[in-house]
């Protein structure tokens, strides 16, 4: 997605530890006009599949998923990262290791909001090692729903998540795949 | 907002400990059509004020803020609930006590995304004791930005947050104010 790549080149910055900071437009401050274009692009890429739910994970996936859901006319369900007393007892759970926060946390979704009749599109902002996305895939499997695909805004192509998930046979569409990056340069996969 | 009140009566449920569960349409599964109507209503209520940023707090405020921001044509900034290595060093911080999760956490916003030129509308899903909203108000004050108002989807009118924040002179608009609730009945403030 050319608009997104240009924005990453203009406003993104690379920090030590393979961190790509895009928090001026994607995951702290959010440029809603750009995210609308991202939503349209996901709809274009997945226009041929039936989708009944968009599934994402808190926190930074939620806004992108909600804007995208407008183009599919379906509800969003967001997975939660810890037990909350406001959630009912009957839940799907999985464990996700966060490389960013260096800890393992439980990811949960109420069984009420995902069932075998659902056709699920996963949406998230980043794909690097694949931990979050693999957690969501595990929950979709447990629910018996059909996993139709996964839409990612930025994939770090030099980390293994994308390969692992494509090798599983999941239809994965990333709007920008970073081939390599350093503090001086950033290149996209063609 | 009549559509919202009817939805709360139909799909909400009251659990022990003054918990109103609306997770089938607002804060776990999200009915994007309803949230679009919520966004339009916030625009109608705050149509007379200049807004340059919508500010919310992760996680369940983000989707509502993003959908609402489309009607104001402004960016969303969401406050984060813990230190993240992906945030720059220079941040506004405040402390918020969560009654839901029974702990105190740090709330942070990068200084880059809030400044004295900004006119801020706060958006959140719930207002009960007011802890989250008071934290956001404190951050807006620290930034020197102008606080134009706060839009809340559901206010628990029998808890003190609404009164405290209105007494501060903040323009607070809640789309549904619950006067009282129990497992058998729920009434709204007129």
Mean pLDDT of the region A37-56: 98
Mean pLDDT of the region B113-127: 98
Residue B116 backbone dihedrals phi, psi, to 5 degrees:
-60, -20
> Does the distance separating the beta carbons of B86 and A19 come in below 8 Å?
yes
Q: How many CB atoms lie within 10 A of CB B95?
A: 11
State the SS3 of A138-186: HHHHHHCCEEEEEEEEEEECCCCHHHHHHHCCCCEEEEEEEEEECCCCE
Q: Enumerate the residues of chain B whose CB falls inside 8 A of the CB of residue A66.
A: 30, 32, 35, 62-63, 66-67
Question: What is the rounded CA–CA span in Å between residue A2 and residue A25?
Answer: 15
> How do strand A172-181 and strand A119-127 relate by DSSP bridges?
unpaired
Q: How confident is the model at residue B105 (pLDDT cuts 50, 70, 90)?
A: confident
Give the residue from chain B lying closest to A66, CA to CA: B63
Q: What's the pLDDT score for residue B59?
A: 93
Q: What's the pLDDT score for residue B75?
A: 98
Longest dimension (CA), chain A: 49
The region of weakest confidence among A116-125, A179-188, B50-59, B93-102 is: B93-102
A118: alpha, beta or left? (left if phi > 0; alpha if psi -120 to 50): beta
Q: Is A189 on the interface with B (CB under 8 A)?
A: no
Q: What's the pLDDT score for residue A85?
A: 54
Burial label, A3 (beta-carbon count in 10 A; 0-12, 13-18, 19+): middle
Q: Enumerate the residues of chain A whose CB falls inside 8 A of the CB of residue B82.
A: 101
Q: Is B144 on the interface with A (CB under 8 A)?
A: no
Q: Is residue A139 pLDDT above 70, yes or no?
A: yes
Give the residue from chain B lying closest to A55, CA to CA: B29
Q: Enumerate the residues of chain B whose CB falls inside 8 A of the CB of residue A62.
A: 59-60, 62-63, 66
Which CATH entry fits the domain spanning B2-163+177-188: 3.40.50.720, 3.40.50.620, 3.40.50.980, 3.40.50.2020?
Answer: 3.40.50.2020
Longest dimension (CA), chain B: 49
> Does the distance separating the beta carbons of B73 and A33 come in below 8 Å?
yes
Q: Is A115 on the interface with B (CB under 8 A)?
A: no
- Measured in angstroms, the CA of A78 and the nearest CA of chain B are apart by 6
Give the residue from chain B lying closest to A31, CA to CA: B75
> Does the distance separating the beta carbons of A29 and B76 come in below 8 Å?
yes
Q: Enumerate the residues of chain A whose CB falls inside 8 A of the CB of residue B66.
A: 30, 32, 35, 62-63, 66-67
> How do strand A119-127 and strand A146-156 relate by DSSP bridges?
parallel
> How do strand B29-30 and strand A76-79 relate by DSSP bridges?
antiparallel
Q: Enumerate the residues of chain B whose CB falls inside 8 A of the CB of residue A132.
A: none
Mean pLDDT of the region B170-186: 97
Determine whether domain A2-188 maps to CATH 3.40.50.2020. yes
- Measured in angstroms, the CA of B29 and the nearest CA of chain A are apart by 4
> Does the distance separating the beta carbons of B28 and A110 come in below 8 Å?
yes
> Does the distance separating the beta carbons of B112 and A66 come in below 8 Å?
no
Question: What is the rounded CA–CA span in Å between residue A178 and residue B9?
Answer: 48
Question: What is the rounded CA–CA span in Å between residue A13 and residue A181?
Answer: 10
Residue A59, preceding peptide bond in cis (omega within 30° of 0):
yes
Q: What's the pLDDT score for residue A17?
A: 86
CB of B69 within 8 A of CB of B55?
A: no
Q: Enumerate the residues of chain A whose CB falls inside 8 A of the CB of residue B121.
A: none
Q: Is residue A145 pLDDT above 80, yes or no?
A: yes
Q: What's the pLDDT score for residue A84?
A: 55
Mean model confidence pLDDT for chain A: 94
Task: Report domain extents, chain A.
Answer: 2-188
Question: What is the rounded CA–CA span in Å between residue A9 and residue A107?
Answer: 33
């Amino acid at each position: 997605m050319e608009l997104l790549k240009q924005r990453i080149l203009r406003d993104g910055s690379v920090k030590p530890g393979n961190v790509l900071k895009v928090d001026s437009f994607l995951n702290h401050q959010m440029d809603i006009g750009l995210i609308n274009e991202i939503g349209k692009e996901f709809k274009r890429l997945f226009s041929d599949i039936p989708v009944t739910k968009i599934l994402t994970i808190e926190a930074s996936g939620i806004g992108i998923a909600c804007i995208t859901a407008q183009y599919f006319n379906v509800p969003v369900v967001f997975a939660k990262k810890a037990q909350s007393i406001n959630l009912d007892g009957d839940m799907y759970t999985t464990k996700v290791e966060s490389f960013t926060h260096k800890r393992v946390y439980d990811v949960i979704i109420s069984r009420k909001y995902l069932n075998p009749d659902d056709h699920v599109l996963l949406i998230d902002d980043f794909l690097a090692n694949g931990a979050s996305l693999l957690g969501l895939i595990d929950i979709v499997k447990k629910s018996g729903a059909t996993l139709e695909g996964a839409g990612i805004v930025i994939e770090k192509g030099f980390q293994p998540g994308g390969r692992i998930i494509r090798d599983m046979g999941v239809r994965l569409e990333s709007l920008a795949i970073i081939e390599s990056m350093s503090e001086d340069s950033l290149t996209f996969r063609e």
